[in-house]
């Protein structure tokens, strides 16, 4: 359905067959406010119940244009036959096409004595177009508001997760238990520093003044290599990188 052509029409008429198109597809096409929805294959009361609360959105008529065309063909085939005339009347009245004509006449009724029927029709179409533009703007504003509300909720949830991570990260990262369940929590940083201090205590004990005297130029390189190789290396490998990755996954989920 080309909605652009409907909005260009002074009297948009949309024919809907429930057997070939769903009601939702028709209503989702955003029919202009001054449209006439013509439904074939059901009565007016059935159409009213199907449309429900959306029945007042546009003028809706249960009509069967094909039945009206068939009535005209019957009369053209034998215009002087009383039975043909009777069948024409029955078929044409049953098609309810006259209701469409009635609405079109109402649309072309002059709004004021100084306005012609065509000018009144154009004025009604312009007012309906303005109404549709306002309705579309309101719908867009509601959509934007819904998006903002959703973003606000997402930000609130993310802040809650960050607060939880900030509350648990120091405990999870800086403390650990020993190899047995009965071991108490230990400070990982303090334990790593203690272990490194023990190692470098042995290194410093080995590097006596007599040995340093002959290796003055190599002291800096020797200590730099030892620091890079043994100073709190377990913190980066076993604590920092795994917990940073875990925190990143928690914030993303």
pLDDT of residue 184: 47
99-108, 135-144, 231-240: the lowest-pLDDT one: 231-240
Residue 160: other Cβ atoms inside 10 A? 10
Mean pLDDT of 72-94: 89
Going by pLDDT thresholds of 50, 70 and 90, the confidence category of residue 147 is very high
Higher-confidence residue of 225 and 102: namely: 102
The three-class DSSP label of residue 56 is helix
CB 21 within 8 A of CB 13: no
How far is it, in rounded angstroms, from Cα 210 to Cα 43?
Answer: 113
Average pLDDT of the residues in 84-90: 90
The stretch 199-207 carries a mean pLDDT of 66
| pLDDT at residue 148, as a whole number | 92
- Identify whether the C-beta of residue 6 lies closer than 8 Å to the C-beta of residue 12: yes
Flag the least confident range among 29-38, 69-78, 233-242. Answer: 233-242
Categorize the per-residue pLDDT at 183 as very low, low, confident or very high, splitting at 50, 70 and 90: very low
The pLDDT value given to residue 237 = 64
Is residue 43 within 8 A of residue 60, CB to CB? The reply is: no
CB 85, CB 75: distance < 8 Å: yes
Please report, for residues 53, 133, 232, the alpha-carbon distance to residue 183 in angstroms, rounded to integers and kept in the order given: 69, 71, 22
Q: What is the DSSP letter of 185?
A: P
Residue 85 is encoded by which pair of tokens? 């005339």
pLDDT tops 80 at residue 251:
no
Instruction: Name residue 36's beta-bridge partners.
Output: 13, 59
pLDDT at position 245 over 60? no
Q: Where are the alpha helices (DSSP H) in the chain?
A: 3-8, 23-27, 44-51, 65-77, 82-95, 97-107, 117-174, 188-206, 209-214, 219-230, 233-234, 241-252
Structure tokens at 153: 């909720």
Token pair 């508001």 is found at 145
- First-to-last alpha carbon distance for the chain, in angstroms, is 41
Residue in the block written with tokens 């809706």: 60
Q: Assign 181 a pLDDT band (cuts: 50, 70, 90).
A: very low
Total-model pTM? 0.48
DSSP result, 83-94: HHHHHHHHHHHH
Residues 34-48 pLDDT 10s: 888 888 877 777 777
Q: What percent of the chain has pLDDT over 90?
A: 8
């Amino acid at each position: 359905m080309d909605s652009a052509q409907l909005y260009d029409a002074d009297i948009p008429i949309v024919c809907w067959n429930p057997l070939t198109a769903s009601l939702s597809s028709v209503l989702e096409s955003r029919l202009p406010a001054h449209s006439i929805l013509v439904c074939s294959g059901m009565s007016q009361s059935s159409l009213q119940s199907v449309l429900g609360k959306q029945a007042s959105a546009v003028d809706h008529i249960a009509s069967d244009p094909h039945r009206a065309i068939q009535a005209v063909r019957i009369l053209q085939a034998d215009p002087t036959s009383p039975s043909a005339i009777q069948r024409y009347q029955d078929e044409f009245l049953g098609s309810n096409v006259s209701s469409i004509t009635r609405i079109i006449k109402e649309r072309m009724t002059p709004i004021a004595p100084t306005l012609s029927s065509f000018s009144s029709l154009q004025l009604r179409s312009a007012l309906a177009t303005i109404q549709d533009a306002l309705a579309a703007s309101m719908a867009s504003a509601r959509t934007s508001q819904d998006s903002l509300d959703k973003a606000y909720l997402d930000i609130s949830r993310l802040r809650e997760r960050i607060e939880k991570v900030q509350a648990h990260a120091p405990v999870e990262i800086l403390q650990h238990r020993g190899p047995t369940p009965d071991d108490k929590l230990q400070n990982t940083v303090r334990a790593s520093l203690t272990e490194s201090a023990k190692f470098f205590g042995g290194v410093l004990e080995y590097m006596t003044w007599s040995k340093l005297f002959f290796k003055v130029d190599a002291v800096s390189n020797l200590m730099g290599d030892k620091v890079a190789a043994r100073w709190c290396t377990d913190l980066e490998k076993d604590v920092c990188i795994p917990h940073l990755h875990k925190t990143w996954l928690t914030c993303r989920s």
